[in-house]
């Protein structure tokens, strides 16, 4: 990666958990709160949180256009849970602004409210044969994936891990497990993009 860090958007959500998971996976990670921070990174993770709030904060901090420009120019992007909602083309049942980086339609809180949170042994062939301990917390699912989107994992008949070129989205929270394979997958995306 040429010494450049992977950024974790630090306006809301599981910021420190992602920073620690990236560092434990061998990457250098920094938090991103401004467009100057964004210029320092070779890839960006948008963690879980509340999507309408985060879009408002991205607009307030002047980060919408810089993120979209960098990702469309090839910078790897990973949205987890809310981050995947923010990256989606659209949100089913809501008129909601997004970054429109993944050609998917997502449904917010599709797996249920907080009380329905669960850990699921998820098959993700791109990560190997061992099942992944996927933690779903008020998670979205993917209702539509465009022709350029590869569905890497599904649960209950809906996509929960997708990739479109240099952007990925996960409904679940890999940063809350000891299994680092999704972080390693993203680190490899960043390493090969630089």
Which residues are part of the catalytic machinery?
81, 173, 175
Helix (H) or strand (E) holding 19: helix 15-24
Q: What is the dihedral angle through the alpha carbons of 45, 50, 56, 58, rounded to the nearest 10 degrees?
A: -10
Q: How far is CA 170 from the centre of its chain?
A: 6
**In whole angstroms, how far apart are CA 101 and each of 24, 70, 165, 194?**
27, 11, 10, 19
Beta bridge partners of 88: 102
CB 21 within 8 A of CB 174: yes
Within a 10 A sphere around the Cβ of 36, how many other Cβ atoms? 9
Distances (CA, A) of 110 to 5, 27, 50, 86, 172: 33, 32, 14, 15, 12
Task: Quickly tell me which residue has 């620690």 as its tokens.
Answer: 20
């Amino acid at each position: 990666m040429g010494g450049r860090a992977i950024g974790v958007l630090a306006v809301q959500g599981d910021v420190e958990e992602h920073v620690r998971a990236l560092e434990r996976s061998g990457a250098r990670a920094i938090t991103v709160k401004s467009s100057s921070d964004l210029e320092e990174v070779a890839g960006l993770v948008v963690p879980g949180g509340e999507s309408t709030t985060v879009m408002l904060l991205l607009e307030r901090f002047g980060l919408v256009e810089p993120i979209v420009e960098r990702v469309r120019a090839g910078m790897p992007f990973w949205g987890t849970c809310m981050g995947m909602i923010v990256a989606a083309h659209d949100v089913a049942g809501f008129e909601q602004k997004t970054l429109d980086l993944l050609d998917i339609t997502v449904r917010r809180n599709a797996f249920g409210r907080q009380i329905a949170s669960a850990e699921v042994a998820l098959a993700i062939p791109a990560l190997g044969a061992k099942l992944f301990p996927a933690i779903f917390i008020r998670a979205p699912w993917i209702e539509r994936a465009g022709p350029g989107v590869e569905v890497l994992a599904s649960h209950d008949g809906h996509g929960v891990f997708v990739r479109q070129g240099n952007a990925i989205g996960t409904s679940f929270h890999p940063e809350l497990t000891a299994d680092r394979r999704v972080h390693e997958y993203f680190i490899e995306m960043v390493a090969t993009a630089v």
